[in-house]
């Protein structure tokens, strides 16, 4: 039987981080690389991925830096094939990309703004999962898909209804995919993120005093640190969570409304 420490190892695995650009994605990628995985980093701009790819290569791992618009289905299909071609296989997919949209009442949203929020949070999860799951099924030895959701998906935050609804869709898509892909040995889970460092000003811009309220409602009494999502990411990606699928893992500081 493997030791507990060995259960968190990812040697020989290839992971895609679809949506690199914030501190959470950076620390998730570094955690997977430290555990032995090779990585493909995907973002719209080279500046978001090239330095991180260099850092991972310095750890002795392979790293691809791929520029792609994850809301564009042909680009997503192409990047999945590129990763398999250049790194040999795909074992892990992190759907981390997301877009908040404008902070304003839902009655003021235009049709194209509504659709853009869903494209930037829900559609891209579908596109990437479909492309990668097809490859995982062909490989025949299972895989792991982890989606990033938000505390907003379980709340009714002011001024961001489209974002909250789209992330709620990510939660349920996660559960549906877990049931559908389980016969292929593919586990699908989500990380429900709370608010992390420097979130207060952003929340207060959405609605005056909202950031202060959020902090008061968080039992741990602070914002999340830059690296505090990495442990959850490694757990869900690794064999340590081999009997976990269809779960929404809350990393929120315990905020009651997040469940």
- Return the domain boundaries, the chain: 4-252
> How high is the pLDDT of residue 257?
55
> How high is the pLDDT of residue 256?
61
CB count, 10 Å around CB of 126? 16
CB count, 10 Å around CB of 1? 5
CB count, 10 Å around CB of 46? 12
> How high is the pLDDT of residue 100?
84
> How high is the pLDDT of residue 113?
96
Query: And the tokens for 120?
Result: 């930037």
Q: How far apart are CA 62 and CA 16, in angstroms?
A: 12
Residues 92/119, Cβ–Cβ less than 8 Å: no
Residue with tokens 């640190």: 225
Angle at 176 between CA 154 and CA 70, to 5 degrees: 80
With 0-12 CB in 10 A as exposed, 13-18 as middle and 19+ as buried, what is 201? exposed
Q: With CA atoms as reference, report the closest residue to 258 among 101, 147, 149.
A: 149
Question: Which of 109, 163, 235, 243 is the catalytic position?
Answer: 163
Residues 31/137, Cβ–Cβ less than 8 Å: no
pLDDT in tens, the chain (259 residues): 578 889 999 999 999 999 998 999 999 999 999 999 999 999 999 998 999 999 999 999 999 999 999 999 999 999 999 999 999 999 999 999 998 888 899 999 999 999 999 999 999 999 999 999 999 999 999 999 999 999 989 988 788 899 999 999 999 999 999 999 999 999 999 999 998 887 777 777 767 787 888 888 899 999 998 799 999 999 999 999 999 999 999 999 998 654 4
Residues 90/131, Cβ–Cβ less than 8 Å: no
Tell me, yes or no, if 163 is annotated catalytic: yes
> How high is the pLDDT of residue 99?
87
Q: How far apart are CA 130 and CA 68, in angstroms?
A: 16
> How high is the pLDDT of residue 167?
96
CATH dotted code for 4-252? 3.40.50.720
Three-state helix/strand/coil letters over the chain: CCCHHHHCCCCCCEEEEECCCCHHHHHHHHHHHHCCCEEEEEECCHHHCHHHHHHHHHCCCCEEEEECCCCCHHHHHHHHHHHHHHHCCCCEEEECCCCCCCCCCHHHCCHHHHHHHHHHHHHHHHHHHHHHHHHHHHHCCCEEEEEEEEHHHHCCCCCCHHHHHHHHHHHHHHHHHHHHHHHHCEEEEEEEECCECCHHHHHHHHCCCHHHHHHHHCCCCCCECCCCCHHHHHHHHCHHHCCCCCCEEEECCCCHHHC
End-to-end CA distance of the chain: 35
């Amino acid at each position: 039987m493997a030791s507990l420490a060995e259960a968190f190892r990812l040697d020989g695995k290839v992971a895609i981080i679809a949506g690199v650009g914030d501190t959470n994605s950076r620390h998730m990628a570094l955690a997977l690389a430290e555990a032995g995985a090779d990585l493909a980093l995907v973002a719209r701009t080279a500046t978001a991925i090239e330095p991180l790819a260099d850092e991972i290569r310095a750890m002795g791992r392979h790293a691809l830096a791929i520029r792609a618009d994850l809301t564009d289905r042909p680009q997503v299909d192409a990047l999945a094939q590129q990763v398999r071609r250049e790194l040999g296989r795909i074992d892990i997919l992190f759907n981390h990309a997301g877009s908040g949209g404008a902070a304003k009442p839902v009655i003021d949203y235009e049709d194209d703004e509504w659709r853009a929020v869903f494209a930037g949070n829900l559609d891209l999860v579908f596109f990437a999962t479909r492309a990668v799951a097809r490859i995982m099924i062909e490989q025949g030895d299972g895989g792991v898909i982890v989606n990033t959701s938000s505390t907003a998906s379980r709340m009714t935050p002011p001024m961001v209804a489209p974002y909250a609804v789209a992330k709620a869709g990510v939660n349920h898509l996660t559960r549906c995919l877990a049931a559908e892909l389980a016969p292929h040995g593919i586990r699908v889970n989500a990380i429900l993120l709370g608010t992390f460092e420097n979130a207060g000003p952003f929340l207060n811009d959405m609605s005056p005093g909202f950031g202060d309220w959020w902090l008061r409602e968080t039992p741990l009494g602070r914002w999340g640190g830059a690296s505090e999502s990495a442990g959850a990411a490694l757990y869900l990606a690794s064999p340590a969570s081999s009997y976990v699928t269809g779960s929404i893992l809350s990393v929120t500081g315990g905020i009651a409304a997040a469940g």
